[in-house]
Amino acid sequence: MIAELGHAALWLATALAVLQMVAGALGLREMGLKNANAGVVALARPAAVVQAFLATLAFFLLLYAFAITDLSIKLVATNSHSMKPFIYKLTGTWGNHEGSMLLWVAVLALSGGLLAGLERRLPEKTMSATLSVQGFVALGFYSFLLISSNPFERLPLPAPEGSGLNPLLQDIGLAIHPPTLYIGYVGLSVAFSLCMGALITKQVTPDFAKVMRPWVLGAWVFLTFGITAGSYWAYYELGWGGWWFWDPVENASLMPWLAATALLHSVSVLAARDALRTWTIMLGVLAFSMSMLGTFLVRSGVITSVHAFAVDPERGSFILALLGLYIGGALVIFAMRAGYIAEGKRFTATSREGALVFNNVMLSAILAIVLLGTLYPVFTEVFDVRVSVGPPYFNPAGAIFAIPMFVVMAIGPLLRWKDDKPARIQFEMMMLAAIAISVIALVAFFGSYGFLPILGLAFAAALGVAALLPLRGRKLSRVPTATYGMVMAHFGVAVSLFGMASESAFTAEKLAAVSAGGQEQVADWTIELESVDPIAGPNWTAVEARVIATRGDGESVLLTPQARNFWAPSQATSESALLTTWDGQLYAVIGDSAGVDANGNPRWQLRIWWKPFVTFIWYGGLLIAFGGVLSIIGRLQVDLRRRSAIKRGKERREDAEAIGSSAAPEPAE
């Protein structure tokens, strides 16, 4: 029953998406005229809301099917197992292609429903166009789900037992990382639809930017959080000791983030200064395009990645067709309409807008670098040349644009809108330069490290100070919440940058074959392998090493890295053991058995890293995300205050009219 209900809910949602699309489009054509279609037009909003309910219901039904391990459903049978811990039964819902696409459309419908239900500020015509586009996008993904990836397909005969979930995915990381990323990806669809709506109705105004801003911010917060969580998950789960691999799938999540970061800054310029109109629209299209492109790259198998997703060329063709329809269509409309959008207000290069535009261009350049690096293997393969693009390309090429971006990011928030003289902030600039130079001198004096890590440390220090400067000389209780958000997010960038630079400059690594009782030295840590014993978990067996780590003369700590063998499905994983201190992490991995030592005792491969301040990478990521949250709160506060002010003004005016007084005060607007 559950599967059939879910399936039916999906079909109904699809039908409603069609209705929403048609009603929105009619609204666009017939608006203003009193006509017979007015009834249909009014259906666009309710259609979106009910659709959100149905798609969410379908997702929860699948969640339930996974929870009770309903083995008559093909998806459950191929991805779950009755003996799996309950939490991983639940997370297994989205740990596969069909389930994750269902999550994708559920979030898409939910954000469409929220937009339709809550947004009342836009001109009705723009709103109609927006809802129509949102319905059109949803329709494509519903068809994809129903035609080529039905999650509710039944098996002709129920399976006796499920085949299990990939052990790498049996981790709490999977509970958080994909859903947050998806909410971020799909939240950008609202920005996309709003941009298309504004473009079609030629209403690219500051009001439109104010409507779009919370959506962009919200999606961006989830993306930031999802990427941060994903990076930490890869770091401790894969056992390679790295936190970013420039893998195509990681890039697929980074690219929408870069576009969204640029978008959220340019949307602020549009909202505050009515400048950058076409550029903002372009970024809005670009951000969601990158989300869809990411989905395509991950799901089609066009690019080989360490993330072994179920790959299927037929699904790939389907998503490519959707991509062509949406991105291609959006770009055609952009090409036709962008010329009609007047250019917006002017500003000089040395102004807040100037700095924001510069960094927008830098972010877009980095996006182009990542995009090119990710797609390059696809292009060369046409000529039968197989390449893989890695850190030697991404790091320096990205740095070319990241370095000037950090410089401008430090001083941009200190500039005034419209026009400013650099001489006014001379003191601040000199101070920041002095900080950066002294850090470079200090680090270079104490050891020889790479150029980029040293530069990273210097920028981190200068940026950390610069981020706080906008608060200088202001009464802290009077500073708007959104400004605190910006300060926090910029400070988070500095913290994260510090973690990255410190990790790449100062990491100490040791790979050794050790027998029980053997000792190794890593940085100022003494590592002793006490014993290696077999242990068993609910659906795996493992060898577990007991490793005693002692720092200098300090207390000893026990670490227990494991090499696990799962039996459903059969796969080996390595569970690293982490010891977190305030100034870094000790990272231990146990490998294969490595023969015997001179006395005939068995030896094991032991890999130990000491990574100073590596955790700051993720602390920084969290700070950035919370900065975004603060900013949303701040914007909503202002918005609510203005709404109540307008309401009060209106009441006062009505009162005044009722009394008949001609001396009523002007509304506060």
Distance between CA atoms of residues 141 and 17, nearest Å: 10
Strand-by-strand arrangement of the 602-612 sheet: 508-515, 602-612, 584-596, 577-581
Q: Provide the residue type at 387 as one letter.
A: V
Output the smallest distance, CB 322 to another protein, in A: 11
Which span (219-227, 268-276, 381-389, 553-561) binds another protein, by CB under 8 A? 381-389
Q: Which stretch binds another protein (CB under 8 A): 225-233, 294-302, 555-563, 565-573?
A: 294-302
If the CB atoms of residues 252 and 286 are measured against another protein, the closer one turns out to be 286
Residue whose token pair is 């500073």: 479
Nearer to another protein, 301 or 404 (CB): 301
In the region spanning residues 555 to 574, those forming contacts with another protein, defined by CB under 8 A, are none
Q: Smallest Cα–Cα separation from 232: which of 631, 614, 628?
A: 614
**CB neighbour list of residue 293: distance below 8 Å, 6 or more residues apart:** 252, 255, 323, 327
- Bridge-based pairing of strands 525-536 and 540-551 is antiparallel
Structure tokens at 271: 């909202």
Q: Is 45 or 315 the residue whose CB approaches another protein more closely?
A: 315
Stretch that binds another protein, among 59-67, 317-325, 494-502, 612-620 (CB under 8 A): 317-325
CB of 108 to another protein, least distance (A): 21
SS3 call for 351: coil
Contact status: 313 vs another protein (CB under 8 A): yes
Minimum distance between the CB of residue 300 and another protein, rounded to whole angstroms? 6
Among residues 5, 114, 159, 331, the one that binds another protein under rule CB under 8 A: 331
For another protein, the closer CB: 533 or 592 = 592
The span of 23-31, 37-45, 316-324, 569-577 binding another protein (CB under 8 A) equals: 316-324
Residue with smaller CB distance to another protein, 302 or 465: 302
CA distance 218 to 113: 15
Instruction: For strands 540-551 and 556-559, give the pairing.
Output: antiparallel
CA-to-CA distance for 308 and 292, rounded, in angstroms? Answer: 19
Element (H, E) at 417: none
Q: Which stretch binds another protein (CB under 8 A): 93-101, 190-198, 332-340, 537-545?
A: 332-340
φ/ψ of residue 585, rounded to 5: -135, 140
Query: Considering the complex, what minimum distance in angstroms separates the CB of residue 617 from another protein?
Result: 31
Minimum gap (Å) between residue 332 Cβ and another protein: 6
Read off the tokens for 642. Answer: 């203005």
Q: Does 302 bind another protein (CB under 8 A)?
A: yes
Distance CA 574, CA 559 (A): 14
List 87, 147, 172, 336, residue binding another protein (CB under 8 A): 336
Cis omega (within 30 of 0) for bond into 569: yes
Residues of this chain, 189-228, that bind another protein according to CB under 8 A:
none
Among 161, 381, 533, 583, binds another protein (CB under 8 A): 381
Q: Does 317 bind another protein (CB under 8 A)?
A: yes
Q: What are 232's two structure tokens?
A: 């930490």
Pick 375 or 622: Cβ nearer another protein? 375
* Segment interacting with another protein, rule: CB under 8 A, options 45-53, 192-200, 299-307, 448-456: 299-307
Contacting residue, 9, 54, 77, 282, with another protein by CB under 8 A: 282
Which 3 state secondary structure label does DSSP give 588? Answer: strand
- Which residues in 20-59 contact another protein (CB under 8 A)? none
Whose Cβ is closer to another protein: residue 96's or residue 300's?
A: 300
x/- map, 251-280, another protein, by CB under 8 A = ---------------------------x--
Minimum separation from the CB atom of position 199 to another protein (A): 11
Q: Which part of the chain contacts another protein (CB under 8 A), choosing from 251-259, 282-290, 395-403, 560-568?
A: 282-290
Query: Computed from CA positions of residues 219, 222, 226, 232, in that sequence, does the dihedral angle turn out positive or negative?
Result: positive
Q: Which of 327, 461, 529, 586 is in the footprint of another protein by CB under 8 A?
A: 327
16 vs 252, beta carbon nearer another protein: 252
Establish if 304 lies at the interface with another protein (CB under 8 A): yes
Build a one-symbol-per-residue string for 340-379: x at contacts with another protein by CB under 8 A, - elsewhere. Answer: -----------------------------------x--xx
User: DSSP string spanning 183-200?
Assistant: HHHHHHHHHHHHHHHHHH
Q: Which C-beta is closer to another protein: that of 336 or that of 596?
A: 336
| Interface map 147-166 toward another protein (x if CB under 8 A) | --------------------
Would you say 643 and 495 are in contact if contact means Cβ atoms under 8 Å apart?
Answer: no
Nearest approach, Cβ of residue 175 and another protein (Å): 31
Amino acid at 323: L
- What residues does 457 pair with on adjacent strands? none
- Selected from 146, 323, 431, 465, the binder of another protein by CB under 8 A is 323
Q: Count CA atoms within 13 Å of residue 482 on its CB side.
A: 14
Is 229:173 a contact under the CB 8 Å cutoff? Answer: yes
Is 658 a binder of another protein (CB under 8 A)? no
**For residue 346, what are the contacts with CB-CB under 8 A and spacing of at least 6?**
275
Exposure b/e, 158-174, CB count within 10 A at least 16 = b:
eeeebebbbbbbbbebb
Query: In terms of DSSP bridges, do strands 602-612 and 584-596 run parallel, antiparallel, or are they unpaired?
Result: antiparallel
C-alpha 124/C-alpha 419 separation (Å) is: 35
Residue range at the interface with another protein (CB under 8 A); choices 144-152, 298-306, 497-505, 556-564: 298-306
Token pair of 48 as six digits? 């979106």
Stretch that binds another protein, among 95-103, 235-243, 325-333, 569-577 (CB under 8 A): 325-333
Beta carbon nearer to another protein, 33 or 382: 382
Rounded Cα gap, residues 373 and 389, in angstroms: 6
Smallest separation (angstroms) from another protein to the CB of 176 = 31
What are the tokens at 296?
């395509």
Q: To the nearest 10°, the Cα dihedral for 271, 276, 280, 282?
A: 160
- The residues that touch another protein, with contacts defined as CB under 8 A, are 278, 282, 285-286, 289, 296, 300-302, 304, 311, 313, 316-317, 320, 323-324, 327-328, 331-332, 334-336, 338-339, 375, 378-379, 381-382, 386
